[in-house]
């Protein structure tokens, strides 16, 4: 058992934002558990960061599989007794309509699959790990959301024109969870916030996105390492608050 390590878990960590978040937290001295659903890709990603001299480990974790969530939580409890940082990064975007707005056509299958990963899995793993986060002296929970989930921005005249409904709605739900969980944990040392990475060059963001993953993870890493006077129950891009 390692009682002194500062530990972090990043979900969806084998590529893109998750990989870079793992890298930057490990560079700050955290032992990072890289939660990945694909074992081969996850082990390869962890090996890549270890070659850079960084303290990371692969952890088998598909957030849509309750048995893997239970196993991961049991492993962290046995190995470390606590968890200092949880970055809920795992997410998908699979809206099956190429138009700008899929609200009229999105299928129940796509809605359920999107919410299973982006929302239900996020809530379940957070709840399962919360007893371990409560044992940390400075527990931090970061939910990677998106400006696409902002109801205020979508509802403004001239706001966002691209509206993939399943993805957007799932991120709106994530933001609601952030607000509610932060309120539930008020009075504790735990801070819970949502992060908007920006439009980033990842498999999801595509090659035309203006931001690199190095820049895209800055918000999540900042929120994961907030000091005791930092905010909670808020939505940020970099250090600027985003409207819900």
Q: Is residue 105 part of a domain?
A: yes
The number of domains in the chain is 1
The span from the CA of 167 to the CA of 170, in Å, is 5
CATH number at residue 19: 3.40.50.720
Continuous segment of H or E residues that includes residue 169: helix 165-184
Is the pLDDT at 97 greater than 70? The verdict is no
Q: Is residue 209 part of a domain?
A: yes
SS (H, E, C) 62-80: CCCCHHHHHHHHHHHHHHH
Residue 159: pLDDT band (50, 70, 90) is: confident
Q: Nearest Cα to 118, choosing from 199, 176, 67?
A: 176
Is the pLDDT at 2 greater than 60? The verdict is no
Classify burial at 222, counting beta carbons within 10 Å of its beta carbon; exposed 0-12, middle 13-18, buried 19 or more: middle
Q: Is residue 229 part of a domain?
A: yes
User: What does the pLDDT look like over 3-42, one tens digit per residue?
Assistant: 456 999 999 999 999 999 999 999 999 999 999 999 999 9
Is the pLDDT at 80 greater than 90? The verdict is yes
- Can you tell me whether residue 194 is helix, strand or coil? strand
Ranges 160-164, 174-178, 208-212, most confident: 174-178
Residue 167 annotated in active site? yes
Average pLDDT, the chain: 94
User: What does the pLDDT look like over 109-126, one tens digit per residue?
Assistant: 999 999 999 999 999 999
Give the residue numbers spanning the domain of 47.
7-241
Is the pLDDT at 207 greater than 90? The verdict is no
Q: Is residue 38 part of a domain?
A: yes
Is the pLDDT at 99 greater than 70? The verdict is no
- Produce one character per residue of 66-104: b if its CB has 16 or more CB atoms within 10 Å, e if not: eebbeebbeebbeebebbbbbbbbbbbbbbebeeeebee
Q: What share of the chain is helix, strand, coil (3-state, %, to 5)?
A: 45, 15, 40
Ranges 67-81, 87-101, 158-172, most confident: 67-81
Q: Is residue 83 part of a domain?
A: yes
Percent of the chain scoring above 90 in pLDDT: 86
The span from the CA of 48 to the CA of 20, in Å, is 11
Q: Is residue 2 part of a domain?
A: no
Q: Is residue 1 part of a domain?
A: no
**Contact call for residues 36 and 89 (beta carbons, < 8 A):** no
**Contact call for residues 121 and 63 (beta carbons, < 8 A):** yes
Arithmetic mean of pLDDT, 84-105: 89
- For 20-47, the DSSP string reads HHHHHHHHTT-EEEEEESSHHHHHHHHH
- Residues 30, 58, 119, 167: which is the catalytic one? 167
Is the pLDDT at 152 greater than 90? The verdict is yes
Distances 236 to 23, 182, 200, 207 between C-alpha atoms, Å: 21, 14, 16, 24
The span from the CA of 76 to the CA of 136, in Å, is 13
Residue 98: pLDDT band (50, 70, 90) is: low
Arithmetic mean of pLDDT, 209-218: 86
User: What does the pLDDT look like over 13-24, one tens digit per residue?
Assistant: 999 999 999 999
Continuous segment of H or E residues that includes residue 155: helix 151-155
5 φ, ψ (degrees, to nearest 5): -70, 140
- Can you tell me whether residue 161 is helix, strand or coil? coil
Percent of the chain scoring above 70 in pLDDT: 96
Q: Which residue has the higher pLDDT, 204 or 138?
A: 138
Q: Is residue 137 part of a domain?
A: yes
Residue 201: pLDDT band (50, 70, 90) is: confident
């Amino acid at each position: 058992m390692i009682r002194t390590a500062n530990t972090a878990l990043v979900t969806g960590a084998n590529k893109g934002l998750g990989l870079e978040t793992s890298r930057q937290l490990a560079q700050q001295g955290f032992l990072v558990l890289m939660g990945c659903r694909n074992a081969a890709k996850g082990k390869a990603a962890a090996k890549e960061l270890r070659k850079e001299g960084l303290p990371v480990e692969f952890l088998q974790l598909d957030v849509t599989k309750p048995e893997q969530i239970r196993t991961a939580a049991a492993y962290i409890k046995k190995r470390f007794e606590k968890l200092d940082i949880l970055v809920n990064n795992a997410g998908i975007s699979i809206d099956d309509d190429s138009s700008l707005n899929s609200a009229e056509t999105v299928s129940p299958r796509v809605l359920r699959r999107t919410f299973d990963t982006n929302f239900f899995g996020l809530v379940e793993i957070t709840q399962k790990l919360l007893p371990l986060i409560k044992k940390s002296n400075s527990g931090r929970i970061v939910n990677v959301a998106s400006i696409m989930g902002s109801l205020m921005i979508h509802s403004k005249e001239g706001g966002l024109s691209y509206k993939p409904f399943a993805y957007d709605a799932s991120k709106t739900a994530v933001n609601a969870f952030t607000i509610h969980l932060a309120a539930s944990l008020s009075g504790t040392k735990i801070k819970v916030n949502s992060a908007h990475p920006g439009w980033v060059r990842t498999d999801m963001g595509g090659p035309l996105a203006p931001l690199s993953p190095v820049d895209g993870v800055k918000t999540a890493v900042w929120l994961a390492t907030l000091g005791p006077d930092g905010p909670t129950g808020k939505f940020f891009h970099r250090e600027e608050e985003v409207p819900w």
